[in-house]
């Protein structure tokens, strides 16, 4: 059986007029099953985000093949949606209008849009803030809008590019718990890029550790923690064991500067 | 205690009012008592006020204002309709930017008032000639600010639209134009000032009616109070129009409005 997401030998080089070309990804391969939650960790600049952007359809690899459900990815499509690190909300749109953006671009009629938006705003717990503008929201609320917007178009794959990196530690813990809940309910396939070993271990079925640039797969770790997971689980010896396993793999790839 | 609170609350207004009143009083007193100069060459607030009362009653002032306004509105409207799209396209399309850049840079930098005679010859001394001058002077702030607005558009938002499969048209309408609006409104504020210069120069140079003509005629015949009335009316119009543009920004860009209020 073919895997749901299949990346084979992806190579992507960033060329620039002023600087040396940079090989972001080199022969990167990855397979993800339907409904799986997979995190990608790796040193800064290893091409994690680049990989998500290829999967999203915004970047084209020089070589290699990216397939979703057996079909090659040719560009952006409704099956995939991204939650961006810096939220990417349109500042001139209210919460509701931001959530409706993807639906609007798909040409969904207004009545259906607002109904769907209302459901998702409820799902992410933003009732009462429909008419607020992004600048009136906290970071955590902004990312809830980002998540609702991505889910609104009912994608099969949710791509998350360090979605909680811009949030404070407590908000981050809260958002992780809520993401797990929402994931449990919606059964999306999630590809989650993060710098945080703890976050990767807590959320994922599998953690992909990438090498330093040019990024390749260094190791794949299965996280055998039972679900549903809760915050207390993070205090167990088992969880710490998993974290240190990931760390052992990752630390060989970290440059002296990033080890400090 | 009460007075202190009142002052603290309205400090800005009170101080502004006080400074204007003091200047006018000083001007009046100096010319009345200290240097009673020839009213033929110098004038003072009381005489200007008298001339103002006179002019407001007569039909000439209103006629002149109507004439000048018409030329201004035509020229300014065309500047909006042409300037904004040109700026947007220049900002988005490198080829268009590089093609138009030499002309626009040269025209924006040079004192365009110099071409007034040419415009009057080409378009006549009527509304058309003046409107053309207003257009020429006020179109550049629209072009350059729309251009700068596009250049400063957040790349992330472009990616967001693309990631949802948005078209080129969606990029313009849903991201580029809205994020450019505050820049355009700021450009409009500059354009108002430049457009008024266009009107006045056109009417100084060749006209038989209009507010600029009235000012220049009053000057030529040494009617200083009348001249000051014209100048004052012009500055009031300039201030009102500029304030209107600010209000417009608050209406068109409420997300920025509340940012300003908060800071």
A86–B165 C-beta distance less than 8 A = no
What is the mean predicted confidence (pLDDT) over A176-191?
Answer: 92
Closest CA to B242 of B168, B191, B180: B191
The domain segmentation of chain B, as residue ranges, is 1-37, 45-262
Pick from A196-210, A224-238, B37-51: least confident: B37-51
The domain segmentation of chain A, as residue ranges, is 1-79+156-235, 89-154
Size of interface A-B (CB pairs under 8 A): 60
> What tokens appear for A1 in the block?
């059986």
Per DSSP, helices labelled H in chain A are 48-56, 95-105, 110-123, 139-152, 169-186, 197-203, 237-251, 256-259
pLDDT recorded at residue B262: 37
B156–A84 C-beta distance less than 8 A = yes
Which residues of chain B are at the A interface, by a Cβ-Cβ cutoff of 8 Å? 156-157, 159-166, 170, 174-175, 178-179, 181, 253-255, 258-259
- Over residues B95-119, the pLDDT tens digits come to 999 999 998 888 888 888 888 888 8
Indicate the pLDDT class of residue B260, thresholds 50, 70 and 90.
very low
What is the Rg, in whole angstroms, of the alpha carbon atoms belonging to chain A? Answer: 18
Q: How far apart are the first and last CA of chain B?
A: 29
What is the mean predicted confidence (pLDDT) over A70-92?
Answer: 92
Q: Which fold has domain A1-79+156-235?
A: Rossmann fold (3.40.50)
Closest CA to B187 of B69, B79, B91: B79
* A260 to chain B, closest Cα gap in Å: 30
* Average pLDDT across chain A, whole number: 91
User: How many CB atoms lie under 10 A from the CB of residue A247?
Assistant: 15
Q: Which of B164, B165, B259 to mutate to test the interface with A (most CBs of A within 10 A)?
A: B164
Nearest-angstrom CA–CA distance, A148 and B116 = 57
pLDDT recorded at residue B191: 93
What is the mean predicted confidence (pLDDT) over A85-114?
Answer: 94
Q: Can you give the pTM of this predicted structure?
A: 0.79
- Over residues B241-255, the pLDDT tens digits come to 989 988 888 888 777
Nearest-angstrom CA–CA distance, A103 and A114 = 9
Contact B212, B200 (CB under 8 A): yes
Share of chain B above pLDDT 90, in %: 55
pLDDT recorded at residue B194: 92
Would the pLDDT of B37 be above 80?
Answer: no
Does the bond joining A13 to the residue before it have cis omega, within 30 degrees of 0? Answer: no
What is the mean predicted confidence (pLDDT) over B202-221?
Answer: 88
- Over residues A119-163, the pLDDT tens digits come to 999 999 999 999 999 999 999 999 999 999 999 999 999 999 999
Crossing angle (nearest 10°) for helices B45-57 and B224-252 = 70
Contact A86, A60 (CB under 8 A): no
Cβ-based contacts of B152 with chain A (< 8 Å): none
Closest residue of chain A to B259, computed from CA coordinates: A135
Domain B45-262, classified CATH 1.10.3720.10, yes or no: yes
* B20 to chain A, closest Cα gap in Å: 39
The dihedrals phi and psi of A22, each to the nearest 5 degrees, come to -115, 125
pLDDT recorded at residue B261: 41
């Amino acid at each position: 059986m073919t895997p749901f997401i299949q990346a084979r030998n992806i190579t992507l080089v960033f060329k620039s007029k002023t600087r040396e070309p940079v090989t972001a990804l080199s022969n990167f391969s990855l397979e993800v099953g339907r409904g799986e939650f997979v995190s990608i960790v790796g040193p800064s600049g290893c091409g994690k985000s680049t990989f998500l952007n290829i999967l999203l359809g915004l970047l084209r690899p020089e070589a290699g093949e990216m397939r979703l459900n057996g079909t090659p990815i040719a560009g952006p499509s409704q099956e995939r949606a991204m939650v961006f690190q810096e939220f990417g909300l349109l500042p001139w749109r209210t919460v509701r209008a931001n959530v409706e953006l993807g639906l609007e671009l798909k040409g969904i009629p207004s009545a259906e849009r607002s109904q769907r938006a209302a459901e998702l705003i409820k799902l992410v717990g933003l009732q009462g803030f429909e008419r607020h503008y992004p600048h009136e929201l906290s970071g955590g609320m902004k990312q809830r809008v980002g998540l609702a917007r991505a889910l609104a178009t009912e994608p099969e794959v949710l791509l998350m590019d360090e979605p909680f990196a811009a949030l404070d530690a407590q908000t981050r813990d809260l958002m992780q718990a809520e993401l797990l809940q929402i994931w449990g309910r919606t059964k999306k396939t999630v590809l989650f890029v993060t710098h945080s070993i703890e976050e990767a271990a807590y959320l994922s079925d599998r953690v992909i550790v990438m090498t330093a640039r040019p990024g390749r797969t260094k190791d794949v770790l299965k996280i055998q923690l039972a679900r549903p997971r809760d915050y207390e689980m993070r205090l167990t010896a088992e969880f710490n064991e998993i974290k240190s396993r990931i760390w052992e793999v990752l630390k060989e790839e970290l440059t002296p500067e990033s080890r400090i | 205690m009460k007075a202190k609170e009142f002052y603290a609350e309205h400090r800005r207004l009170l101080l502004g009012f006080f400074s204007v009143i003091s200047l006018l009083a000083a001007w009046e007193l100096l010319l009345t008592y200290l240097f009673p100069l020839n009213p033929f060459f110098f004038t003072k607030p009381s005489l200007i006020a008298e001339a103002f009362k006179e002019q407001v009653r007569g039909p000439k002032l209103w006629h002149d204002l109507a004439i000048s306004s018409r030329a201004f509105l035509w020229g300014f409207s065309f500047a909006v309709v042409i300037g904004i799209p040109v700026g947007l396209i220049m900002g988005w399309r490198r080829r268009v930017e590089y093609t138009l850049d030499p002309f626009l840079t040269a025209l924006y930098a040079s004192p365009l008032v110099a071409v007034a005679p040419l415009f009057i010859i080409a378009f006549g001394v009527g509304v058309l000639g003046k409107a053309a001058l207003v257009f020429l002077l006020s179109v550049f702030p629209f072009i350059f600010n729309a251009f700068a607005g596009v250049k400063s558009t957040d790349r992330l938002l472009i990616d967001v639209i693309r990631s949802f499969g948005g078209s080129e048209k969606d990029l313009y309408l849903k991201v580029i134009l809205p994020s450019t609006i505050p820049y355009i409104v700021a450009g409009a504020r500059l354009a108002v000032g430049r457009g008024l210069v266009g009107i006045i120069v056109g009417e100084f140079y060749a006209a038989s009616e209009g507010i600029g003509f009235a000012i220049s005629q009053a000057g030529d015949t040494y009617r200083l109070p009348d001249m000051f009335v014209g100048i004052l009316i012009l500055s009031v119009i300039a201030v009102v129009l500029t304030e209107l543009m600010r209000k417009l920004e608050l209406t068109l860009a409420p997300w920025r409005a509340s940012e300003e209020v908060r800071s």
